[in-house]
C-alpha cells in the first residue's frame, strides 16, 4: 500500500512538473513559430499557436545571414565580448571582495558590508546620471569599457559570495598558511574550487543580466558598429511594423548563448543559490 501510494505521488509530481515545463516553454514555442512566418501574418494575427506549414519558411533567417548579416553579426559579437569580459571580471573581483569580507577581520568590515547592502537597495536608474558624468570624465563614452566598468563589481555577487564563504571552514586559511601558500594562493587554490557552485549560479545570473542589458549601453554607446544586440534589435522596429519578422528571428537566435550558459552551469545553480542563501 505504501509503495503504491509512493508511486502515485511520484506520478502526480511528474505530471505536474511536465505541465509546468510546458507552460514555461509555451512562449518560446510561439516565438520560434512566429520567426518562421512572414511579417504580414504577424501583423494580422500576432503571436499564435496555429501551425500553418504553407506559411512557414526560413526566409527571415536567410535575410539575417545574408542581407542583414553585417549588422546582426556585429551586434552579436559586441554583446558576446561585453558579456564575456563583464562576467569574467565580475566573478573575479566580486568573489574576492565577498571572500575578504567573510574570511578576514579588519576595522570597518561591517561598515563596508552595510554599504554593499545599501547599494543593493538603490535603483540603477537613480545613479545613471552620475555614472554618465564619470564616464565622460574618464573618456569612456562610446566604448565597451564604459559599458562594463561601472558594474563590474556588483553588490549582488559580493553579497552572495560573502554569504557562501561565511559558511566555509576557516581552518582552510590556517592549513594553507602552514603549507606556505600566500593569501592569494589560498583563495585561488583552495577556496575557488570549493566555491564552484557559487560561481556557477552567479555566472548564469550575471551573464543573463549583461546579455539583456539595454538602458545603460543605449546611454553610453553611440556608434552603429558598437551597438549591442538588444539595442540593434530595437532599431529594427519602425512605425510601419515591417521588420517584426526579422526582429523575432533575431530574438530567437539571441536566446542561444544564454541557453548554452545555463546548460553548462545549471547543475551548480540550485545548490549554489540554496547554500549561499542560508549560510552566514
Q: Are residues 177 and 202 in the same domain?
A: yes
pLDDT for the residue numbered 38: 79
Q: Are residues 95 and 222 in the same domain?
A: yes
Residue 152 lies in a domain: yes
Residue 66 lies in a domain: no
Q: Which long-range contacts (CB under 8 A, 24 or more apart) does 237-244 make?
A: 241/39, 241/43, 242/39, 243/39, 244/39, 244/42, 244/43
Residue 5 lies in a domain: no
- Alpha-carbon Rg of the chain, whole angstroms? 23
C-alpha cell at 160: 552572495
**At 94, which CATH number?**
1.10.3720.10
Q: Are residues 51 and 172 in the same domain?
A: no
pLDDT over 70 at 4, yes or no: no
- CA dist 218 and 215 (Å) reads 5
Q: Are residues 168 and 50 in the same domain?
A: no
Give 262's pLDDT tier (boundaries 50, 70, 90): confident
Which range among 33-42, 121-130, 222-231 shows the weakest confidence by mean pLDDT?
Answer: 33-42
Domain region containing 37:
27-57
Give 56's pLDDT tier (boundaries 50, 70, 90): confident
Say how many domains are in the chain. Answer: 2
- Read off the pTM: 0.84
CA angle (78 as vertex; 75, 84 as ends), nearest 5: 135
Q: Are 225 and 70 in contact (CB under 8 A)?
A: no
The CB density around residue 33, as the number of other CB atoms within 10 Å, is 19
Q: Are residues 156 and 112 in the same domain?
A: yes
**Average pLDDT of the segment spanning 114-140:** 90
pLDDT for the residue numbered 7: 75
Residue 10 lies in a domain: no
Q: Are residues 257 and 166 in the same domain?
A: yes
By C-alpha distance, which of 225, 228, 116 is closest to 161?
116
Q: Are residues 128 and 256 in the same domain?
A: yes
Q: Are residues 178 and 269 in the same domain?
A: yes
Residue 22 lies in a domain: no
Q: Are residues 102 and 207 in the same domain?
A: yes
Domain boundary among 57, 79, 99: 57
Q: Are residues 273 and 192 in the same domain?
A: yes
- CA dist 146 and 132 (Å) reads 9
pLDDT for the residue numbered 136: 92
Q: Are residues 90 and 130 in the same domain?
A: yes
Give 82's pLDDT tier (boundaries 50, 70, 90): very high
Residue 41 lies in a domain: yes
pLDDT over 80 at 193, yes or no: yes
DSSP 211: H
Residue 13 lies in a domain: no
**Average pLDDT of the segment spanning 238-265:** 80
Residue 16 lies in a domain: no
pLDDT over 50 at 278, yes or no: no
- CA dist 66 and 133 (Å) reads 39
Q: Are residues 38 and 175 in the same domain?
A: no
Amino acid at each position: 500500500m505504501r509503495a503504491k501510494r509512493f508511486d502515485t505521488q511520484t506520478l502526480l509530481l511528474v505530471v505536474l512538473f511536465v505541465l509546468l515545463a510546458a507552460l514555461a516553454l509555451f512562449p518560446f514555442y510561439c516565438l520560434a513559430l512566429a520567426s518562421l512566418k512572414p511579417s504580414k501574418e504577424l501583423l494580422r494575427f500576432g503571436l499564435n499557436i496555429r501551425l500553418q506549414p504553407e506559411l512557414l519558411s526560413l526566409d527571415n533567417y536567410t535575410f539575417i545571414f545574408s542581407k542583414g548579416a553585417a549588422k546582426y553579426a556585429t551586434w552579436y559579437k559586441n554583446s558576446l565580448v561585453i558579456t564575456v569580459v563583464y562576467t569574467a571580471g565580475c566573478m573575479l573581483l566580486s568573489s574576492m571582495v565577498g571572500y575578504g569580507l567573510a574570511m578576514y577581520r579588519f576595522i570597518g568590515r561591517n561598515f563596508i558590508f552595510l554599504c554593499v547592502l545599501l547599494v543593493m537597495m538603490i535603483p540603477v536608474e537613480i545613479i545613471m546620471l552620475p555614472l554618465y558624468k564619470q564616464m565622460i570624465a574618464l573618456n569612456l563614452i562610446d566604448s565597451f569599457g564604459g559599458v562594463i566598468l561601472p558594474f563590474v563589481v556588483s553588490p549582488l555577487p559580493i553579497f552572495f559570495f560573502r554569504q557562501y564563504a561565511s559558511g566555509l571552514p576557516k581552518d582552510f586559511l590556517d592549513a594553507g598558511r602552514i603549507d606556505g601558500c600566500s593569501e592569494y594562493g589560498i583563495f585561488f587554490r583552495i577556496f575557488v574550487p570549493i566555491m564552484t557552485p557559487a560561481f556557477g549560479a552567479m555566472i548564469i545570473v550575471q551573464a543573463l543580466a549583461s546579455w539583456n542589458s539595454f538602458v545603460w549601453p543605449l546611454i553610453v554607446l553611440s556608434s552603429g558598429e558598437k551597438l549591442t544586440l538588444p539595442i540593434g534589435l530595437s532599431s529594427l522596429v519602425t512605425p510601419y511594423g515591417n521588420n517584426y519578422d526579422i526582429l523575432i528571428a533575431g530574438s530567437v537566435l539571441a536566446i542561444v548563448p544564454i541557453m548554452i550558459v545555463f546548460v553548462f552551469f545549471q547543475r551548480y545553480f540550485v545548490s549554489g543559490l540554496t547554500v549561499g542563501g542560508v549560510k552566514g
